[in-house]
Structure 1
C-alpha cells in the first residue's frame, strides 16, 4: 500500500466531509446556495487531477516537457422513466499542447488505461473521453 485516506460524512449533503488526514471540506447541494463542494465537483476534480497527472507521467517518461490539460464535465441527470432516479453524465476532454491529435490520443488512451480513477470508472455507460486540440 502506498497511501490510504478515509472520508466520512455524518450529515445530509449540506455540512462537512471529514478526512482522516486533512481538514474538513464543506459540502452543499448542487442546486443550493452557499459555499461548499458537491459530488459532481468532487468526481470531476478527482478524475481531472488523476488523468492529467498520468498524462504528465507518460510525457515525462518520453522526456517531453509539455503542458497537458483535462476538462471534466459532470452533469446531474434524471432518468426519463420518471422514477425519480438520477445519474451522472461524465464527459472528459484531454489535450496536449503542441502535439498532433493522433499522437495526443495515443498518450491519452494510455493514460486512461493506467489512471486509477479511470480504472474505477471503467465500464460506466454514462462516460465519454475525447482527445481534443490544446
Structure 2
C-alpha cells in the first residue's frame, strides 16, 4: 500500500557527493557533514554515515509523535527519550543490503502498561514509522 500525502507542508533537500565516502549537505546549509563508512564496514569511520543520519531522524520524529500522543492521553512524557538503533546488513544472499531498526523508548514517569500503549500509538502517528511499515523490521522496546 502506498501512502499519499494530502498536502506537502515542507520539503527537505540534501545533496550528496561521493556517496558513502564523501560529503552531504542540505540546501539551507543547516546540515553539512562528511560521510564515511564505519570501521565495521571497512571504512575509516571519520565521518557520519547514512545509518546514523537515519537513526537521528527516526528517533527525533518518533519522539515528537510520542509527545503528541502523550499530550492527547494526558500523560507526562517530559522526561522521555527515544533511541533509534539502525542496523545494516546483506539481504537476498548478499545481492543487496537492507536496514532494520529498533526503537528504545524510555518513559520514566509513566506506568509500563500505559507506556506500551503510547509507544504503539506513536508508531501509528510517526511519519518514519509509516514510511517503513511493511518494508523493514522495526522493533519497539519500552525500556
Deviations 1:6-37, CA, capped at 9 Å, x for gaps: 11112231221121122422211123225321
- Contact 1:5 1:21 (C-alpha < 8 Å) held by counterparts: no
Aligned to 2:10: 3
2:37 aligned residue: 29
- Residue 27 of structure 2 is aligned to residue 20 of structure 1: yes
Q: Distance in 1 between the 2:53 and 2:106 partners?
A: 21
Q: Which runs of 5+ in 1 are unaligned?
A: none
Aligned length: 131
**TM-score by structure 1 length?**
0.84
Aligned to 2:101: 90
Unaligned runs of 5+ in 2: 1-7
RMSD, aligned CA: 2.0
1:69 and 2:81 matched: yes
TM-score between the two structures when normalised by the length of structure 2: 0.79
- Check 1:14–1:126 CA distance in 2 against 1; reply closer, same or farther (3 A cut): same
